[in-house]
Amino acid sequence: MLIVSGSSCRYLAVNVSKLTNTPIVPNECKVFPDGEIYVRINGDVSGKPVAIFQSFALKPNDYLMEFILLSDLVRDLGASKIIAIIPYFAYTRQDDRFKPGEALSIKTIASIFKSLNIDSIVTIDMHLHRVSSPSELFKIPVYNLSAMGLLMDYVMLSFKPESPIVIGPDEESRQWAETAARRANVEYDVLEKTRYNSYRVVVKPKRLDIDGRDVIVVDDIISTGGTMVEAVKALRSCGARRIITACTHPILVDKALSKILEAGAEAVIGTDTVPSPVSYVSVKSVIAEFLTRMFQ
């Protein structure tokens, strides 16, 4: 196997290459003055399986276009197989028409990937709610790995929470709360919003008492931080002793980090699927272990 890295994922690609003892093929990615993207591979990939690393975070349009050019180039240069390693997969949230006339972005992206003749996709905690099987949608194997175990290992070791409980900020985050709680062998719950009238809304755990306990709030993505801010405020009002927040993809736009900390969280922990000030946890081991199993 060989590794080719797009410009958004070079550091992670290098770390995975070291763990798997896999050569990285040098390449060049740049932007012309008119905004067009240029890519060039400076090595021989003919007859070899190639893993292309590219995260779609922060500049999804540019990084997606770069990935399209790289993957088509790798195929044209004779690679025997293409594995797309996409730690953060953008355009998955719009999986339904919430308003008439909206584009189904995940369906459109799936169509683009089909045209590229990619053999498989490896991603981390893909934002899936109404799509039960991404493999069926993309018509190729999609391996959706998780970083929740790594995040929980980090939190438990670094913060040593007392009487810990894992909380998902809403019903859609239940899948990640359950995975995280299972890793640490602790209880979990999700927050439930109850609206009493136009002015009074109460957010609280559905079934468990958190008074005096240390709470780890987990979600797949923190983007603007709005959901996490409300969760932290609600948990403080319910008597949580300490609140540590964690997510796989720390997008953190619009001062999200400071807003969450000001709301009362002790820390925000993220992974390197998205480079950020809180990317304390690396997903390199999860990807490396998977690739090792794939090519054994």
Angle between helices 174-184 and 148-159 (to 10 degrees): 50
Asked, for residue 141, whether it belongs to a domain, the answer is yes
The pLDDT of 75-103, averaged and rounded, is 88
Is pLDDT above 70 for 122? yes
Q: pLDDT > 70: what percent of the chain?
A: 93
The answer to whether the CB of 235 falls within 8 A of the CB of 167 is yes
What pLDDT shows up at residue 131?
63
Mean pLDDT, residues 127-148 taken together: 85
Average pLDDT, the chain: 91
Asked whether residue 102 falls in the same domain as residue 185, the answer is: no
Is residue 100 classed as helix, strand or coil in its secondary structure? coil
Of 172 and 292, more confident? 292
One domain, residues 18 and 42 = yes
Question: Does residue 2 surpass a pLDDT of 90?
Answer: yes
Are 286 and 256 within one domain? no
Look at residue 275 and tell me whether its pLDDT is greater than 50. Answer: yes
| Strand extents, DSSP E, 42-141 | 49-53, 81-86, 120-124
In a domain, 277, yes or no: no
Mean pLDDT of 172-194: 90
Which pLDDT score is estimated for 134? 83
Read off the pLDDT of each residue in 258-272 and give the average, rounded to a whole number. Answer: 96
98-102, 111-115, 161-165: the lowest-pLDDT one: 98-102
201 has pLDDT over 50:
no
- How many structural domains comprise the chain? 2
Q: CB-based contacts of 41: which residues, under 8 Å, 6+ apart? A: 4, 25, 26, 27, 70, 73, 74, 77
Residues 63 and 74 in one domain: yes
Same domain assignment for residues 256 and 286: no
**CA atoms of 123 and 2, how far apart (whole Å):** 18
Domain of residue 155, residue span = 148-272
In the predicted model, is pLDDT for residue 289 greater than 90? yes
Mean pLDDT of 180-206: 75
Whether residues 8 and 138 fall in one domain:
yes
Residue 130: predicted pLDDT = 63
Please say if the pLDDT value at position 129 is more than 50. Answer: yes
How far from 234 is each of 101, 152, 210, 219, 228, CA to CA, in Å? 35, 22, 11, 16, 10
Query: What is the Cα Rg of the chain in Å?
Result: 20
Question: In angstroms, rounded to a whole number, what is the distance separating the alpha carbons of residues 275 and 279?
Answer: 6
Domain containing residue 159: CATH number = 3.40.50.2020
User: Are the beta carbons of 10 and 3 closer than 8 angstroms?
Assistant: no
Catalytic residue list: 193
Query: What pLDDT is recorded for position 65?
Result: 96
pLDDT of residue 155: 97
